[in-house]
């Protein structure tokens, strides 16, 4: 652990990044303790008599078109957001990294195919492909996660591919091979640690990006379905009741903004610390 101290110290100096990390931690806490933090756990039942009330002491974020407390729904929506983001990015990672390693380290017909397939996937914006997949299956949170995973893995494989390919012809790998190490051993012990840095960075950036895409899917009706408290879906529902019920549209969107912002700031700070060469801030 001590060898990471200078890195941790440097990271802590970046106030934005630390701020982002704190928000992420807060997000996790809110998701875990949602039932205790929300004013009410009753987020699904309809109270038409209380519909579309503006923010008040009783309903800090107001109520939606079915009389449900928006603050509570936003808090519970946190769970969905984290669920989707973590599983989707995680799955993409577990699909993309091995494929990238194989494609990069070996130079055969298989690696060619993997490359072509990821090129094709990369040539269609993620949202559109995700919609197509969601439309083919019945839209739901599960299909959204599936669609996001299937469309995001090429980012990881391309990243890993570049590194693996350049390491393949590097002298130290040649030396290791000359010493008789098996391919599997080389890939796991030597190539993989070298690609960890870009993978970590891509994962944090990917979280923000995935959350936005998942919310867009919810907004378009290709993801979470009613009566889920998912934030994107909430914004879609809110549209009908504009311009009057401004709070309905403001708060779920604000939640999305806060979370994505946090991941971006954290990701930037992380990148500045662990791989300054990738900095685009030109420090």
Partner 1 sequence: MKLTIYIARRLIYVIPILVGLIIIGFFLFYLIPADPVRLIAGPYADSEQIQMVKKQYGLDAPLYLQFLRYVLRFFKGDLGVSVYTSRPVMQELVSRTPATLELAAISLFGAIILGTFIGIFVALRRDSWADHLFRAITIGGLAVASFWLAILLQLYLGYELDLFPIGGRITAGMTPKHITGFYLLDSLITLDMKAFLNSFKHLALPAITLALPCFATIVRFVRGGVLDALQSEYVLYERAMGLSRNTLIYKYILRNAMTVPVVQIGLLLGYTIAGTLVVEKVFSWPGIGNFAASSIIMFDYNAVLGVTIWSGIAFCFGTLIADVVLALVDPREVSK
Q: Give residues in contact with partner 1 (CB under 8 A).
A: 16, 116-117, 119-129, 131-137, 139, 208, 212-213, 215-216, 219-222, 232, 235, 238-239, 242-243, 246, 249-250, 252-253, 256-257, 260-261, 264-265, 268, 279-283
Alpha carbon of 135 to those of 76, 119, 192, 220, 222: distances in Å?
26, 22, 36, 11, 7
In the complex with partner 1, the residue whose CB is nearer, 192 or 232, is 232
In the complex with partner 1, the residue whose CB is nearer, 92 or 126, is 126
Q: Is 116 exposed, middle or buried (0-12, 13-18, 19+ CB in 10 A)?
A: exposed
Alpha carbon of 43 to those of 16, 144, 233: distances in Å?
34, 22, 14
CB of 279 to partner 1, least distance (A): 7
In the complex with partner 1, the residue whose CB is nearer, 192 or 204, is 204
Strand partners, 196: none
CB of 55 to partner 1, least distance (A): 16
- Within 10 Å of residue 244's Cβ, how many Cβ atoms? 9
In the complex with partner 1, the residue whose CB is nearer, 30 or 192, is 30
CB of 246 to partner 1, least distance (A): 6
CB of 245 to partner 1, least distance (A): 10
CB of 256 to partner 1, least distance (A): 5
Q: Is the dihedral of CA 36, 203, 209, 254 positive or negative?
A: positive
In the complex with partner 1, the residue whose CB is nearer, 90 or 221, is 221
In the complex with partner 1, the residue whose CB is nearer, 3 or 281, is 281
Q: Is 67 left (phi over 0), alpha (psi -120 to 50) or beta?
A: left
In the complex with partner 1, the residue whose CB is nearer, 12 or 135, is 135
CB of 76 to partner 1, least distance (A): 19
CB of 250 to partner 1, least distance (A): 7
Asked if residue 227 has a cis previous peptide bond (ω within 30° of 0), the answer is yes
């Amino acid at each position: 652990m001590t060898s990471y101290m200078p890195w941790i110290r440097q990271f802590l100096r970046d106030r934005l990044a630390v701020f982002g990390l704190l928000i992420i931690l807060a997000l996790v806490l809110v998701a875990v303790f949602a039932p205790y933090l929300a004013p009410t756990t009753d987020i699904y039942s309809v109270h038409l008599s209380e519909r579309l009330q503006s923010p008040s002491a009783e309903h800090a974020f107001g109520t939606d078109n079915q009389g449900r407390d928006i603050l509570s729904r936003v808090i519970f929506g946190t769970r969905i957001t984290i669920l989707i983001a973590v599983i989707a990015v995680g799955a993409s990672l577990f699909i993309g990294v091995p494929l990238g390693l194989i494609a990069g380290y070996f130079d055969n017909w298989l690696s060619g195919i993997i490359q072509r397939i990821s090129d094709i996937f990369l040539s269609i914006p993620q949202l559109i492909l995700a919609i197509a997949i969601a439309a083919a299956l019945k839209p739901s949170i599960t299909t959204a996660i599936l669609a996001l995973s299937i469309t995001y893995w090429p980012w990881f494989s391309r990243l890993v591919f570049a590194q693996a390919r350049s390491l393949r012809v590097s002298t130290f790998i040649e030396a290791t091979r000359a010493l008789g190490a098996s391919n599997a051993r080389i890939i796991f012990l030597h190539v993989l640690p070298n690609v960890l840095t870009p993978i970590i960075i891509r994962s944090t950036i990917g979280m923000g990006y995935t959350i936005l895409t998942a919310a867009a899917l919810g907004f378009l009706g290709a993801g979470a379905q009613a009566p889920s408290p998912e934030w994107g879906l909430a914004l879609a529902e809110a549209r009908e009741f504009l311009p009057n019920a401004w709070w309905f549209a403001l708060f779920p969107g604000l939640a999305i903004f806060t979370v994505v912002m946090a991941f971006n700031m954290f990701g930037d700070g992380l990148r500045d610390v662990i791989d300054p060469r990738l900095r685009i801030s030109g420090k």
